[in-house]
Amino acid sequence: MNNYLNSVFRTWILEQNAVPLKTQGRIPYWLNGTLFRNGPAKFSADENAGWHTHWFDGLAMLHKFSFCEGNVIYSNRYLRSNAYYSTLEKGQFNIGFGSKGGTSIKYANNTNINVAILDDRFVALTENPGIMEFNPVNLETVDVFNFDDSLGGQLTTAHPHYDLQTGRYINFTTEFGRAHAYNVYSVAPHSRKRDLIASVPTDRPAYMHSFANTENYVVITEFPLVIDPRDLANEHKTLIENFTWKPDHGTLFRVVRKSDGVILKTFEAEAFFSFHHVNAFEIDGGLVLDICALKDDNMVNHLHVSNLKGNTGEPIFVQLRRYTVKFDSRNVSYEAISPESIELPTINYARSSGKSYRYAYGISTNKERYENYPNQLAKADVQNGTTTIWRQDGCYPGEPIFVQRPNANDEDDGVVLSVILDGRNSHSFLLVLEAQTFEELGRADVIHHIPFGFHGMFTGEQYM
């Protein structure tokens, strides 16, 4: 095991509020607002024990970095879910996504994947339909967030989209029944009622972590990691154990027109797997989808903590691919658009989501210095195929978030924020990169490690 990674594979217990961070370099004065992060932080019912579960199943902790005139203030707090109370009060850890030996906790709501805004409320998300609301000022848990409708579904995605034209929140649920379906819906601003766009029938419900959204279409990319819903009756199996990799099925792209819910048709490609879509946009007679692609589902098992902590195993690299859907053909082709492995991708969302774009950012694994966790940041120019790297020995990055400079003209005029584990010194820091050059501007040091998290968001409002 890489000794630099030792510190991050430990539960972090301490909750803090409004701690000023020591900064190095220069934090831009124009960078005012709040970065919210979500991810697992407790991996055992015994606070002194090490990780013994799947990375996706640790108890959710929210982190907040507030920016004001070059200063950075940090807060963190556990989400008070049923899973949290069961772990602390009964010593029962939720069986969850992939954790063996746990307990099936009813309405666990361990929403540890992402954050979003719904009905002007801040919410934490995971792949189960339960959503938890939290207070953006002090990070205290408010309650379960309930929709004002009866739309069904047992699974969802943790990567909703916001339609740039209408401001609507878009997502889908996977509903098991006599006839299985993906229920694509949207929610108007200042509302919590889900309006059904389309119910897309399927005879092979698949595991999907994200999807694509363009100006006029929603695209559900159905990988051949599929489930027989009858298997869900076995409460001793983890969620992902119910899914089976069937590459002979290939990958299906199901395209839905948002204006009227018409399902155009199903497009086909060879088998592959992905957690994350990067972006998608429309071209004459078709669509383009940029996806972080894997040849199979081995990454799911790789993300067990015992594997992340080890030194063995086949290297896994994630290829940034561009898939092209032509409406007059059933087959979908692709090309690789970056030489680097890229995951946890982000873009200048407010400017480019669903549109033709140039730059994507992500965590990356150095091919010459492979480790079981990504060890560099990447900026991919998807138009010319080049990639710029930020790397520092012993440092392991989290998802990069792009923040646009006020009155910016260029797509990449702004900064990139990433929470980095400094393995050499066993603590984390918030890195601020100048997005155009991808060079460091400054950093804000946290005095402890922050366990590796997943996703987050930046808002221009200051929640101090």
344-403: per-residue pLDDT in tens? 999 999 999 999 999 999 999 999 988 888 999 999 999 999 999 999 999 999 999 999
85 vs 89: CA distance, rounded Å: 6
Classify 234 as helix, strand or coil.
coil
Of 98, 114, 4, residue with least CA distance to 43: 98
Mean pLDDT on 437-454: 96
Question: Where does the pLDDT of residue 177 fall: very low under 50, low under 70, confident under 90, or very high at 90 and above?
Answer: confident
Residue 1: what pLDDT?
A: 44
Question: Where does the pLDDT of residue 50 fall: very low under 50, low under 70, confident under 90, or very high at 90 and above?
Answer: very low
Q: Are 428 and 450 in contact (CB under 8 A)?
A: yes
Give the residue numbers of the binding site for Fe cation: 159, 209, 276, 455
Q: How many residues does the chain have?
A: 464
**E strand intervals along 358-464:** 359-364, 376-381, 386-390, 395-397, 401-404, 414-422, 427-434, 439-445, 456-459
Phi first, then psi: give them for residue 84, nearest 5 degrees.
-65, -50
The one-letter amino acid code at 33 reads G
Mean pLDDT on 73-85: 96
Q: Which residue has the higher pLDDT, 335 or 97?
A: 335
456 vs 464: CA distance, rounded Å: 17
What sections of 32-111 are H helices per DSSP?
82-85
Of 289, 292, 288, residue with least CA distance to 276: 292
Q: Which pTM value belongs to this model? A: 0.95
Question: Where does the pLDDT of residue 236 fall: very low under 50, low under 70, confident under 90, or very high at 90 and above?
Answer: confident
**E strand intervals along 284-426:** 286-294, 319-326, 333-341, 343-346, 359-364, 376-381, 386-390, 395-397, 401-404, 414-422
Phi first, then psi: give them for residue 446, nearest 5 degrees.
-95, 140
Pull the structure tokens for residue 234. 């076995």
CATH of domain 3-459: 2.130.10
Mean pLDDT on 4-20: 81
| Rounded percentage of the chain residues whose pLDDT exceeds 90 | 78
Residue 311: what pLDDT?
A: 60
